Amino acid sequence: MENKLKATARVLEVMDTLREQCPWDREQTFASLRNNTIEEVFELTDAITDGDMEGIREELGDVLLHIVFYSKMADEQGKFDFADVCNALCDKLIYRHPHVYGDVLADSPEEVKQNWEALKLRKKARKSGLLGGVPRSLPAMVKAFRIGEKAASAGFDWEKKEDVWDKVHEEIAEVEAEMRANDKDKLEGEIGDLFFALINACRLYGIDPENALERTNKKFIKRFNHVEARAVEKGKMVNELPLEELENYWQEAKHN
């Protein structure tokens, strides 16, 4: 514990020094750091997806830098400091874990999540309701997943997970209808509905849609790289080969 406290103090001291002496650090604001923060979080998720523990360690440090940076700027404005951030987090965690710090029973992760959502809604008393806690800036896929989770925590969900496929098939039929009608605006809306239904299916079956799609992205990249390599062997570019030949190389990649 002593080493952890020393390391934390060192980070705060370095931040103080940089804010005073570095021209770049000195001119940063909450707004100027926002996009960098988003980028750092995505780099962390990349490392997690790759199972790169060294990368995770490094990217966690970058995210921590931003937390310390924002806290330093707020301290300069007399709003709050790093200690306030930590204490507020501890208070929130204790409040939301009455099954650990109180006498509430929760024997499964599902019960914990239900209690968590109920406590968040009760504590903040949001005028916007249960879904008001979903950040507007979340990527659409992550946001859809969280919306589904929050609605389900209030009992708004399919009775059986298998029932979600009726909704998926319904949305596919509506997409096909708008494709035939050639109405691009309505087609966009129906494709969005189909995505939303599929994301809910992922939730019900315990699949993270972001991880599932990224897995497919990596698979496609690997196979397409094989197709490109085979084209290069023939002294050609991919777009110079007939589709039938490209499909043969694709099938090779699938079995490699």
Mean pLDDT score across all residues of the chain: 91
CA distance 208 to 197: 14
- The closest alpha carbon to 201, from 244, 232, 158, belongs to 158
| Residue of 188, 165, 190, 186 whose CA lies nearest to 175 | 190
Return the percentage of the chain with pLDDT > 70, whole number: 95
pLDDT value at residue 111: 73
Q: Which of 38-52, 98-112, 158-172, 231-245 has the lowest mean pLDDT?
A: 98-112
Instruction: Give CA separation, 243 vs 192, 208, 229, in Å.
Output: 30, 33, 15
Q: What is the mean pLDDT of residues 182-210?
A: 96
So where are the chain's domains? 2-78, 211-254
Kindly report which listed range (9-23, 30-44, 112-126, 137-151) carries the lowest average pLDDT score: 112-126
CB 213 within 8 A of CB 141: yes
pLDDT of residue 223: 96
The rounded distance, in Å, linking the Cα atoms of 122 and 119 is 5
Q: CA–CA distance from 3 to each of 8, 49, 53, 58, 233 (Å)?
A: 9, 29, 21, 18, 56
CB 198 within 8 A of CB 147: no
pLDDT digits (tens, 9 = 90+) for 120-138: 666 654 556 778 778 888 8
Question: What are φ and ψ of residue 106, in 5° steps?
Answer: -150, 105
In the numeric block, the tokens 């995770």 are attached to 56
pLDDT at 132: 79
Q: What is the rounded CA–CA span in Å between residue 100 and residue 112?
A: 10
CA angle 36, 38, 40 (to 5 degrees): 70
Give the model confidence (pLDDT) of 87-117 as tens digits. 999 998 998 888 888 777 777 777 777 777 6
- pLDDT score, position 124: 55
pLDDT at 128 (0 to 100): 65
Mind giving me the DSSP string for 173-230? HHHHHHHHHT-HHHHHHHHHHHHHHHHHHHHHTT--HHHHHHHHHHHHHHHHHHHHHH
Q: How far apart are CA 208 and CA 133, in angstroms?
A: 20
Least confident stretch, 31-35, 71-75, 133-137, 237-241: 133-137
Mean pLDDT of 24-36: 95
What pLDDT is recorded for position 96? 82
Question: Does domain 2-78 sit in CATH 1.10.287.1080?
Answer: yes
pLDDT digits (tens, 9 = 90+) for 206-234: 999 988 998 999 999 999 999 999 999 99
The fraction of the chain above a pLDDT of 90, given in percent, is 75
Predicted local distance difference test score (pLDDT) of residue 232: 95
* Residue 236 DSSP one-character state: -
Say if pTM beats, i.e. exceeds, 0.75: no
Q: What is the DSSP string of 72-134?
A: HHHHHTTS--HHHHHHHHHHHHHHT-HHHHSS----SHHHHHHHHHHHHHHHH--TT-GGGGS
